[in-house]
A and B are shown apart, each in its own frame.
Chain A
Amino acid sequence: MKKLLNLQSRFYSQLIDLSALKQLGILIVVVAITFIISLSIGDSFISPLKVISILSGNGSEFDTLIVQEFRMPRIIVALFAGMGLAVSGAILQGIIRNPLASPDVIGISAGAGGAVVAFLAIFSDTNYSLTVSMEWMPVAAFVGALVTALLVYGLSWTNGVTATRLVMIGVGIAAFMQATSTVLMLAGPIYQASKANIWITGSVNSATWEQVKIIIPVIACLFFLSLLVTRHLNLQQFGDDVATSLGQGVQKTRLALLLLCTALVGSAVAFSGTIGFVGLMAPHIARRLVGSSFGSLIPVSACIGGILVVLADTIGRSMFGSIEVPAGVFTAAIGAPYFIYLLIKMQKR
């Protein structure tokens, strides 16, 4: 029996699943622990207790520099990028009604990636240095994600967009975008090819406090927006007929949700590159924990996504000596088998 809390007030009323709330509480604690442990791991180990005292402003100058200037920005970016990717995956799985859907699969991430490679190719002079500021790269990623999403959506449209067509067209566009990226990388100088490649794999190693100041409010706003539309997402899962019968403008809602999903992917990818499979795994794990109701699914997915990327980044920068492995390599290393496992499981049903 599910315990439910019936929240009634003049301003807001909601039915809250208490067991999901408890799970969410536990996960927030796990996020905090992951965050602190990740801050203490690196070239020099700083104990978690020391990290806590640094965070409260009582650390030695040297340790504070390492924690606050070198480690914290990238961990925060990793955390929020993971949240954004996870929530976008959850939304997309709701629209498409298939647990195998994710922003990677329908090409939104690839579109963002392609745009960045194009950006590097276009805005370089003969000395291989950029002619415009690097800060425009996230904008390029965002535009790439948006253009790809609209392209996929437009091409899928005949009297409305069905989930299946969205996936089929998306897979095609994803392949096209990846091919374009490869061509641009081969045509461009080697320096940029390697830079673009790291970025496409997904890495937060160049994160700065400036980026943190952008990613936190952007992802936070989009996250709260996602929480507001959970009842629409819940209905989308029932398919077009039932949703229409219950009074949802199905096509309008679907487009709005797709744009929300794109904004999340764009802002995550802009700062972290295309860290793969997070949008696939996190919502799926979350569904196992709290079921398929989006009110619980979205915040729980966000926590799991954040944990996944922070862990992947921490392992990548600490386990291999002087070589730094991009976070995207680890999420792909876990994600790809997970994807295959899901496929096999679905076929057995």
Chain B
Amino acid sequence: MIETKQLQLNYGEKVIIEPLDLFLPKGEITILIGSNGCGKSTLLRSIARLLKPKSGSILLNAEDITSLSAKETAKKLSILPQQPLAPEGLTVLQLVKQGRFPYQNWRKQWSSEDQQIVEQAIAATGLTEFKDCEIESLSGGQRQRAWIAMTLAQQTDIILLDEPTTYLDLTHQIEVLDLLSKLNQEENRTIVMVLHDINLACRYATNMIALVNKGIYAQGKPKEIVTVKLIQDVFQLKCEIIEDPIYGTPMCIPYGNRK
């Protein structure tokens, strides 16, 4: 469970997020939405300690994250950054192996437990047959699954993902989101991610946070918060909201110049 207390984020002098109290509930899929440059990625990255906050604190299971060692934190919380790059020639197995880093030391570089967990992570993401393939040779969706397998091998209760579906076609977007949803339901992992596609966000989120003007506009179940007014205020977009015919979640149909 993650909380922020009066968290302020800056890029140099520019304020990105004004002092914010945020609560990310356990066992949920929380999706952050908002227009480009609203600071949603910045917020996610600072929670994962990739960015230093200007002021305020981040609490991980009620403990200040700065008081925890890097290794201890890495056993509880992982983040998959946007568009991560693997070194040339790396295989799926070699990538997923890295997920065990926080559990290893110079003597214990590869335990049988590591072996078992890495194999499970590869199997859970459906990559067993590609285990020895190089990352570059995989399709976009498989590649993203390999990275997710790495974070799975890290065995953290909380997984953060920064736009995990960017540059994937629709089929692969669904594939990745289904996998995350399954991990949430079957293994009760807490998932927090930034997504651009509002309709997919509505489908998969159990908790949605809309950001605007350096702060939170609304937080709650998509069905409860996604309205014509929210889309107007958050994205400056005129739209109609209908019901997703398959999932029953809100679906946003935007207006444009042609109508």
Chain A interface residues (CB < 8 Å from chain B): 1-2, 6-8, 11-15, 97, 159, 228-229, 231, 234-235, 237-242, 244-249, 287, 291-293
Chain B interface residues (CB < 8 Å from chain A): 45, 48-50, 52, 69-75, 78-81, 84-91, 93-94, 97-99, 101-102, 104, 106-112, 115, 132, 151, 154
Q: List 30 A-B contacts (CB under 8 A).
A: A6-B112, A8-B111, A12-B108, A13-B107, A13-B110, A13-B111, A14-B110, A15-B109, A15-B115, A97-B87, A229-B106, A235-B98, A238-B86, A240-B50, A241-B81, A245-B50, A245-B80, A245-B81, A245-B151, A245-B154, A246-B74, A246-B78, A246-B98, A246-B99, A246-B101, A247-B69, A247-B71, A247-B75, A247-B101, A293-B94
Chain A residues with Cβ below 8 Å from B115 are 6, 15
CB atoms of A12 and B107 under 8 A apart:
yes
**Cα–Cα, bound, A128→B154 (Å):** 64
B86 nearest CB neighbor, chain A only: A238
B48 nearest CB neighbor, chain A only: A245
CB atoms of A292 and B106 under 8 A apart:
no
On whether A247 and B102 interact (CB within 8 A), knowing A12-B107, A292-B90, the answer reads yes
CB atoms of A13 and B109 under 8 A apart:
yes
Q: What 9 pairs between A and B have smallest CB-CB spacing?
A: A247-B74, A247-B102, A241-B81, A15-B110, A247-B71, A246-B101, A237-B87, A14-B109, A292-B87
Which of B88, B104, B109 touches A292 (beta carbons < 8 Å)?
B88
Chain B residues with Cβ below 8 Å from A14 are 109-110
Chain B residues with Cβ below 8 Å from A238 are 84-87, 98
CB atoms of B70 and A6 under 8 A apart:
no
Which of A6, A229, A245, A248 touches B78 (beta carbons < 8 Å)?
A245
In the assembled complex, the CB of B91 is this many whole angstroms from the nearest CB of chain A, namely 7
CB atoms of B70 and A2 under 8 A apart:
no
Chain A residues with Cβ below 8 Å from B48 are 244-245
Which of A229, A234, A242, A249 touches B81 (beta carbons < 8 Å)?
A242
On whether A291 and B89 interact (CB within 8 A), knowing A13-B107, A13-B108, the answer reads yes
Residue among B78, B88, B97, B110 with most chain A CB within 10 A = B110
Besides A242-B84, A247-B73, 6 new A-B residue pairs in contact (Cβ under 8 A), listed by A number: A15-B110, A15-B115, A238-B87, A244-B48, A245-B78, A248-B70
Residue among A2, A14, A235, A244 with most chain B CB within 10 A = A244
Which of A241, A249, A293 touches B84 (beta carbons < 8 Å)?
A241
**Cα–Cα, bound, A239→B73 (Å):** 18
**Cα–Cα, bound, A1→B99 (Å):** 21
In the assembled complex, the CB of B57 is this many whole angstroms from the nearest CB of chain A, namely 18
**Cα–Cα, bound, A238→B50 (Å):** 14
Residue among B81, B99, B112, B132 with most chain A CB within 10 A = B81
CB atoms of B70 and A249 under 8 A apart:
yes
**Cα–Cα, bound, A14→B160 (Å):** 29
**Cα–Cα, bound, A192→B129 (Å):** 64
**Cα–Cα, bound, A292→B89 (Å):** 7
Residue among A239, A240, A244, A247 with most chain B CB within 10 A = A247
On whether A6 and B110 interact (CB within 8 A), knowing A239-B85, A244-B70, the answer reads yes
Chain B residues with Cβ below 8 Å from A239 are 84-85
Chain A residues with Cβ below 8 Å from B52 are 159
In the assembled complex, the CB of A271 is this many whole angstroms from the nearest CB of chain B, namely 29
Chain A residues with Cβ below 8 Å from B80 are 245
Chain A residues with Cβ below 8 Å from B98 are 234-235, 238, 242, 246
Chain A residues with Cβ below 8 Å from B106 are 228-229, 231
**Cα–Cα, bound, A14→B104 (Å):** 10
B45 nearest CB neighbor, chain A only: A241
Chain B residues with Cβ below 8 Å from A228 are 106
Chain B residues with Cβ below 8 Å from A287 are 88-89
Chain A residues with Cβ below 8 Å from B91 are 2
**Cα–Cα, bound, A7→B112 (Å):** 9
**Cα–Cα, bound, A228→B106 (Å):** 6
A247 nearest CB neighbor, chain B only: B74
Chain A residues with Cβ below 8 Å from B75 are 247
A292 nearest CB neighbor, chain B only: B87
Chain A residues with Cβ below 8 Å from B72 are 247
**Cα–Cα, bound, A198→B48 (Å):** 52
